[in-house]
Amino acid sequence: MDESPQSPQRGRVRESHVSSPQSPVQFVVGDILGVGHRDRQWTTYVWVTDQSGHAGWVPDTYLEMTSAHEAVAVRDYDATELTIVKGEFVEVLEEAGGWVHCRNSTGVDGWVPSSKIEILTDA
């Protein structure tokens, strides 16, 4: 998955989050995707079906719409969520529409709601 060009930020988990057990939507640059409706809570996310038939929410910045219900991927994406525990530290790799892509201390990465992470600043 593409990561933002800046160095990861350090964050502390302020509230635990358990990942979804569903198979996540995944795609790479150039994949053709089916596009459905926009999420009402996370308004920058749209419902997408990948080439394997998995469906899920995707930030609209990862897509270039080619018609009303089809898009081409402009970035690699994996919607896997990360299970986190209050008090643990993570690297924050990217933010997209109220969610952050994080990596934990064992090297596992995934998405969590940004409200559950406190970004730490260097003192």
For the chain, 123 residues long, give each residue's pLDDT as a single digit of tens: 444 456 789 999 999 999 887 789 999 999 999 999 999 998 999 999 999 999 999 999 999 999 999 999 999 999 999 999 999 999 999 999 899 999 999 999 999 999 999 999 864
Please give the pLDDT value at position 20.
82
CA–CA distance, 78 with 123 (Å, rounded to integer): 33
Instruction: Give 63-70 contacts, CB < 8 A, sequence gap 24+.
Output: 63/33, 63/35, 65/35, 66/32, 68/35, 69/34, 69/35, 69/36, 70/32, 70/33, 70/34, 70/35
The predicted pLDDT at position 57 comes to 93
pTM score, whole prediction = 0.84
Beta strands in 29-75 (DSSP E): 32-38, 45-49, 55-59, 63-67, 70-73
- Supply the pLDDT for residue 25: 93
